[in-house]
Structure 1
């Protein structure tokens, strides 16, 4: 039997059915598991949760959805693909020199590596 700390299948203590890590019943999956199967929650409410203790972040939660109510992921339209390509190109374009760096620019530098390594011009 699982430990009593996060075991609440009726939802009396936490408001929704709660299970310990790796002990959720079949038919309940996380968003990530739905996505791996090409599915999405499709507007259904959270059916249950998994709680576990993390050394760094305290108590963590993963929400579970019913697999039988999940719907297929909507396909990307040409307009969505174009918008995604434009957004990714903006993340690769250096604001200093205007060139496509070929990689996503570091947010800490804010510019491409050659621009960051170039000595500052003294006026």
Structure 2
């Protein structure tokens, strides 16, 4: 089957069960989840359409769901407990279990320890 952009044009949703537009041709007022996040918004409600495009990575067309910008709202603010929990989780990801130092970077999961400990350059604590 030849790859044609015309195959992706389905604004009534007859072929793809949901209104479908080629990349860059979606009507105004619709955005992908990533575009909404860049605007500081979160989608509310289900996807109303999709955008499709062809990629060299896959023989099948790729797609992204589209949400109405008018229904999107700002995310809920995090509670102090959520902020403390996230800070503790990040501190745990940066703490080396071997030397106990809190590093300014997250430790590699493949090594399980900080780079100096993995290389054997640590001094006795």
Counterpart for residue 92 of structure 2:
90
Structure 1 position 61 matched with structure 2 position 40? no
* 2:84 is the alignment partner of 1:73: no
Shift in Å, 1:3? 2.7
TM-score, normalised relative to structure 2: 0.85
Where does structure 1 lack aligned partners over 5 or more consecutive residues? none
Superposed CA RMSD in Å reads: 1.7
| 4+ residue segments displaced more than 3 Å | none
1:1-123 matched pairs, under 5 angstroms: 3-42=5-44, 44-58=45-59, 59-118=61-120
Quick one: structure 1 residues 87 and 57, their matched pair in 2 at CA, closer, same or farther if it must change by over 3 Å? farther
| In structure 2, distance between residues paired with 1:107 and 1:54 | 31
Question: In the comparison of the two structures, how many residue pairs are matched?
Answer: 117
Please list every run of 5 or more consecutive structure 2 residues that lacks an aligned counterpart in the other structure: none
